Amino acid sequence: MRLGILISGRGSNFEAIANSISRGKLDAEIAIVISNRPGAKGLEIATARGIPAKCIPSRGLDREEYDKLLIEELKANEVELVCLAGFMRLLSANFIKAFPNRVLNIHPSLLPAFPGLDGQKQALDYGVKIAGCTVHFVDEFLDSGPIVLQSAVPVLDDDDVDSLSARILAQEHATYSQAIQLIAEERVVIEGRKVRILPERAA
Amino acid sequence: MRLGILISGRGSNFEAIANSISRGKLDAEIAIVISNRPGAKGLEIATARGIPAKCIPSRGLDREEYDKLLIEELKANEVELVCLAGFMRLLSANFIKAFPNRVLNIHPSLLPAFPGLDGQKQALDYGVKIAGCTVHFVDEFLDSGPIVLQSAVPVLDDDDVDSLSARILAQEHATYSQAIQLIAEERVVIEGRKVRILPERAA
């Protein structure tokens, strides 16, 4: 399965996916990493690892114009699954239509709690005792879309944003690769808002 | 610690609290069970167990009038902690003032997700993969207030409302007693929206 990964910064989830692939835990290959921001650290990391990487700057373009460029580049690279990894833009309906049920995101909260920016800080400010992360299919709305997997972590009384973020991030890295692998194995079925995970096939 | 338990129906969490006390797992006693609805099953259960129980019907009374009656009855019974167990009413600011930081509720979701009625059905309809329950202090708003404890459970692909509710309810019963015990041990400190749990005291 050919992955296209969209980033805006470091994209630590991109690195985690690349690691899962190189360790043989994920049957996929990264066809291309695209950043909408020049100088994104993730582009360097990709290049250093020999993974095709490209910046398509979004500045000055409206959403439809930009998404058209993205779609072209992803299609040219025969991408089958688009994975957002800290990509700081909403995608247009046309983009979603170009990759129906083929765009994934990971969010650092147990959605629908704490959508949007700084999910970890939102969780701390609210005072929850359990936080986590969510891998979900992407639709045109913010952190919406059917949920593939979630993973919970405890919030400790002395947590700050950094310590909680680190605990969640470890789960993000594991959970994102696991979700992509389930899709690669064709075990993920979307039924309305619900995602059913089919059992492993007998060998 | 003398508990006053407010119910509107069966109040299965009331029974769980009573069981924790009779098993010696919870250092508290139930001073009174009050239902706002005549014929609430929990009143019978209380009476059968020799626990003082009373119906104070809410029908026809406005919130302030009704809450005044509740406060009187709870104070007359020297209640130190008020525990809501399926009590289907919002409490007035005056009630909260009468028992400052001394009113607890349990809700069948990982708040702030899925407040209000039918938290379990809301979770299923949204398609989350992790659900749970929340013990929180009560303020004048719905399922708001600082969180003492939360407990997570998985949502299974074949869950219906009954199966998910049963899984959550088992956690509710354990978590509610645990939270009350922490308060009895004076280990619960409210700091703004956050609740800090102090370590067990050395023997």
ipTM for the complex shown? 0.93
Whether residues B152 and A152 touch (CB distance < 8 A) is answered with: yes
> Does the fold of domain B106-203 match that of domain B1-100?
yes
Percentage of chain B lying above the pLDDT 90 cut: 94
Q: What is the pLDDT of residue B201?
A: 79
Query: Which stretches of chain A sit within 8 Å of chain B by CB?
Result: 110-114, 124-130, 132, 146-152, 157, 192-197
Q: How confident is the model at residue B141 (pLDDT cuts 50, 70, 90)?
A: confident
**Could you report the per-residue pLDDT of B71-93, keeping only the tens digit for each?**
999 999 999 999 999 999 999 99
Q: What is the pLDDT of residue A142?
A: 86
A28-to-A4, A76, B2, B98 alpha-carbon distances in Å: 11, 17, 60, 61
Q: How confident is the model at residue B203 (pLDDT cuts 50, 70, 90)?
A: low
Cβ A190 vs Cβ A148: under 8 Å: no
Whether residues A130 and B152 touch (CB distance < 8 A) is answered with: yes
Q: What is the pLDDT of residue B142?
A: 86
Domain boundaries, chain A: 1-100, 106-203
| A111, A192, A196 member nearest B157 (Cβ) | A196
| A113, A127, A130 member nearest B146 (Cβ) | A127
List, for chain A, all residue ranges whose pLDDT scores fall below the cut of 70. 203
Residue B191 predicted with pLDDT over 70: yes
Whether residues A126 and B149 touch (CB distance < 8 A) is answered with: no
Residue B156 predicted with pLDDT over 70: yes
Say which of A58, A66, A99, A107 is annotated catalytic.
A107
CATH superfamily of B1-100: Formyl transferase, N-terminal domain (3.40.50.170)
Residue B202 predicted with pLDDT over 90: no
Residue B47 predicted with pLDDT over 80: yes
| Contacting residues of B for A129, CB less than 8 Å apart | 147-150
Whether residues A127 and B195 touch (CB distance < 8 A) is answered with: yes
CATH architecture of A106-203: 3-Layer(aba) Sandwich (3.40)
| B113, B149, B193 member nearest A110 (Cβ) | B113
B123 min Cα distance to partner chain A (Å):
9
Mutate to test the interface with A, among B109, B129, B175 (most CBs of A within 10 A): B129
Q: What is the pLDDT of residue A203?
A: 62
